[in-house]
């Protein structure tokens, strides 16, 4: 094994024989190998008239209330990029882990790009804590209905046609629909973003793999701290230093693999496949 050393190997074998859950937590770094930018910093600039907006300004309920069509244009453009992208080896390895672990598996993802779904990970064991670009809902919450994301391609500097603008309206009340994503000025909740389910899963987790996430948002960090507080293991897989690896370095049950998930995750699949064959 290249990425899993002997100490980690022994711990993973002991974990496999137990009953606690395998939870995989993923962030934007996983989808970088599929060509999806993070849409933070300069990747996410959006120009309205002569003014540049930061993603933290565009992706807000406040901006949606002020300029719904500008927010929609930004999301249509992002969705156009995401809808062309394909899952990579990392996504497929995670799907294999679900097959190996069945109901001991959970996926908590910050990614809204739909690539886990495309790779075949089941919806019932996936918590989309930042929502998904696959769905929209009424911006006024007039009902509990979800609708598919509008399917027209949209480039930067394009204008919406009247017909396209109509497609962005709720069929029930006529107000604007919104992407089913958590905005920067909104809070996590169970109804849309599986806050309680994620925290409950953390309590049952014996092995947490954090993948391609910087730890910049608070729910992933709360999940991680909860796992560690109950003697669960944390393995951070990321080519870059981040908040999870910093935490892992300070804990007996913490491990850091400085590699791309598309390289390191197949080794976990191979190991657990071997253990399953032996069992």
Nearest distance, CB of residue 147 and Zn ion, angstroms:
10
Query: Is residue 173 part of the contact set for Zn ion (CB under 5 A)?
Result: yes
Residue with tokens 């791309």: 260
Closest CA to 244 of 226, 279, 273, 220: 220
Please count the residues of this chain forming the interface with Zn ion, following the rule CB under 5 A. Answer: 5
Distance CA 197, CA 238 (A): 25
Choice between 35 and 174, CB closer to Zn ion: 174
Q: Is 130 a catalytic residue?
A: yes
Using the rule CB under 5 A, give the single segment among 80-88, 140-148, 208-216, 224-232 that binds Zn ion.
140-148
- Biggest alpha carbon distance in the chain? 64
Pick the stretch among 78-86, 97-105, 132-140, 202-210 that binds Zn ion (CB under 5 A): 132-140
**Binds Zn ion by CB under 5 A, chosen from 170, 219, 228, 233:** 170
- Distant-in-sequence, close-in-space partners of 87: CB < 8 Å, separation ≥ 6: 34, 115, 116, 118, 119
Q: Which is nearer to Zn ion, 173 or 259 (CB)?
A: 173
* Residue of the chain from 138, 182, 257, 264 that contacts Zn ion (CB under 5 A): 138
Closer residue to Zn ion in complex, CB, 170/219 = 170
List, in sequence order, every beta strand (DSSP E) within the chain: 21-26, 46-48, 51-53, 105-109, 126-128, 131-138, 146-148, 177-181, 205-211, 233-237, 254-257
Which residues would be at the binding site for Zn ion (CB under 5 A)?
Answer: 138, 142, 170, 172-173
Q: Which residues are catalytic?
A: 130
């Amino acid at each position: 094994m290249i990425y899993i050393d002997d100490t980690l190997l022994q711990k993973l074998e002991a974990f496999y024989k137990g009953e606690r859950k395998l939870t995989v937590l993923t962030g934007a770094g996983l989808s970088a190998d599929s060509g999806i930018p993070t849409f933070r910093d300069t990747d996410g600039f959006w120009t309205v008239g002569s003014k540049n907006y930061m993603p933290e300004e565009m992706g807000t309920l406040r901006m949606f209330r002020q300029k719904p069509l500008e927010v929609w244009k930004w999301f249509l453009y992002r969705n156009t990029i995401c809808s062309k992208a394909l899952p990579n080896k990392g996504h497929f390895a995670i799907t294999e882990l679900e097959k190996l672990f069945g109901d001991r598996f959970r996926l908590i993802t910050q990614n809204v790009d739909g690539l886990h779904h495309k790779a075949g990970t089941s919806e019932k064991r996936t918590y989309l804590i930042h929502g998904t670009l696959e769905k929209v809902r009424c911006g006024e919450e007039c009902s509990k209905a979800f609708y598919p994301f509008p399917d027209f391609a949209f480039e930067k500097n394009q204008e919406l046609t009247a017909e396209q603008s109509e497609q962005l309206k709720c069929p029930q009340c006529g107000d604007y629909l919104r992407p089913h994503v958590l905005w920067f000025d909104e809070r996590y909740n169970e109804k849309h973003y599986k806050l309680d389910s994620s925290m409950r899963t953390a309590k049952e987790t014996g092995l947490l793999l954090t993948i391609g996430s910087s730890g910049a948002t608070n729910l992933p960090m709360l999940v991680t701290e909860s796992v560690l507080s109950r003697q669960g293991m944390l393995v951070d897989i990321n080519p870059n230093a981040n908040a999870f690896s910093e935490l892992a370095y300070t804990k007996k049950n913490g491990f850091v693999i400085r590699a791309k998930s598309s390289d390191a995750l197949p080794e976990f699949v191979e190991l657990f496949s071997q253990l399953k064959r032996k069992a």
